[in-house]
A = this chain, B = another copy of it.
């Protein structure tokens, strides 16, 4: 680790220059640091003469949130690089191409995707991504299946699990997603008008019991190599392309945590339509689009995952009729439970989402927050009795009052 130091822009340019496959000519390179400065340096290196570009991403040895700063292992950069490479092998075209990953310097040099937009932003702006469900279903089914005991050598899986032990980043999830929202933790960011709703969560024993079980699953269920932070801010899109980025939270956990993260963030945008679609008919259309994306995502995921299992299953004991159905049902239930947990913490936890938090009108924002919370709560308490993705649609529509 002694080799490590945060790069200057000049150094980032120097490193980029050696990538002849990206910059075959010697013209000038320009760097712009585009990271948020909390966790990572992100240098966008361009060659104005040719229009070519790449990204140099380097982890910082600390995390900054609202003024505080605490140390964070640089090993997450190795994990991110290895996860990106693994995901690129399993789901080609759905993650940025990695040109080089350097664990000592905690950096990854990769494809520039600045022709894409961050999906959260795209959704807030009313974007429609017709291939998104298909692409994510492909990404999720292949990355989860082929890193699990269903789809890879089970002894190699154990060794791979050992390479993705990620205590520091898991701790962030364990705290901010699966702990702090469930009591009056200092880091919660509760708008005063919403305090009654937060207090209702803290008293809700049915909810707290299910949240504890989800926490237990996150801590103990080493099912597949997860992305680990698969919200709509970790996805670059164009109408025709989808790229999953930033897998620094990757670890072996429950598959439903990744699928649930996407579902949650589509539902948070659904709640935000209280503001983003002020017109009633537009709102109905927009919400129908979001719910059909969720339904499509799960349906396509399930179809692909089952097809992979049938074609590439490595374990004869798991070929049994009935076992696959049972497994998929439990996976759906985990997805629904984690979707609820991922949504809930965005309502009054420390890290909120622009889909709701940037709504300027206080009353519209409050309506969106209470709607998101109602959906989240119902997903969590009903997760283990769910039997179909239609249960999610029903919960969302009922909470929004568009279905009795």
* Closest chain B residue to A252, Cβ basis: B222
Question: In whole angstroms, how far apart are the Cα atoms of A322 and B171 in the complex?
Answer: 25
**Stretch in A48-56, A160-168, A394-402 touching the partner:** A160-168
Contacts of A149 in B (CB 8 A): 216, 219-220
Mask: chain A, 336-350; 1 = CB below 8 Å from B; 0 = not: 000000000000000
In the complex, the answer to whether B154 meets A159 with C-beta atoms within 8 Å is: no
In the complex, the answer to whether A167 meets B179 with C-beta atoms within 8 Å is: no
Question: In whole angstroms, how far apart are the Cα atoms of A164 and B280 in the complex?
Answer: 57
In the complex, the answer to whether B155 meets A168 with C-beta atoms within 8 Å is: yes
* Closest chain B residue to A153, Cβ basis: B167
Question: In whole angstroms, how far apart are the Cα atoms of A94 and B222 in the complex?
Answer: 30
* Closest chain B residue to A179, Cβ basis: B317
Given A219-B149, A222-B222, A158 contacting B166 (CB threshold 8 A): yes
Contact of A317 among B167, B211, B317 (CB under 8 A): B211
Tell me the minimal C-beta distance from A314 to chain B in angstroms.
11
Name A134-178 residues within 8 Å CB distance of B: 149, 154-156, 158-159, 161-162, 165-168, 170-171, 174, 178
Instruction: State which size class the interface on A falls in.
Output: 35 or more
Question: In whole angstroms, how far apart are the Cα atoms of A166 and B223 in the complex?
Answer: 17
Contact of A320 among B158, B167, B209, B320 (CB under 8 A): B209
> Quick one: copies of this chain in the complex?
2
In the complex, the answer to whether B159 meets A165 with C-beta atoms within 8 Å is: yes
In the complex, the answer to whether B320 meets A205 with C-beta atoms within 8 Å is: yes
In the complex, the answer to whether B178 meets A317 with C-beta atoms within 8 Å is: yes
Most buried by B among A211, A215, A323: A323
A278 within 8 A of B: no
Question: In whole angstroms, how far apart are the Cα atoms of A223 and B315 in the complex?
Answer: 22
Contact of A167 among B158, B166, B208 (CB under 8 A): B158
Tell me the minimal C-beta distance from A37 to chain B in angstroms.
25
Contact of A205 among B178, B221, B316, B321 (CB under 8 A): B321
In the complex, the answer to whether B179 meets A155 with C-beta atoms within 8 Å is: no
In the complex, the answer to whether A154 meets B320 with C-beta atoms within 8 Å is: no
* Closest chain B residue to A171, Cβ basis: B155
Contact of A208 among B159, B165, B320 (CB under 8 A): B320
A62 within 8 A of B: no
Question: In whole angstroms, how far apart are the Cα atoms of A209 and B317 in the complex?
Answer: 9
A318 within 8 A of B: yes
A182 within 8 A of B: yes
* Closest chain B residue to A251, Cβ basis: B158
Mask: chain A, 171-208; 1 = CB below 8 Å from B; 0 = not: 10010001100110000000000000000000001001
Given A155-B168, A167-B159, A316 contacting B174 (CB threshold 8 A): no
Contacts of A166 in B (CB 8 A): 158
Question: In whole angstroms, how far apart are the Cα atoms of A327 and B168 in the complex?
Answer: 26
Most buried by B among A159, A174, A219, A326: A219
A15 within 8 A of B: no
Q: Across the A-B interface, give the 5 residue pairs with the lowest CB-CB distance, nearest first.
A: A155-B167, A149-B219, A162-B165, A158-B167, A222-B222
Some 13 contacts from A to B, beta carbons below 8 A apart, are: A149-B219, A154-B171, A155-B167, A158-B166, A158-B167, A162-B162, A162-B165, A179-B316, A205-B320, A211-B317, A213-B323, A215-B317, A220-B221
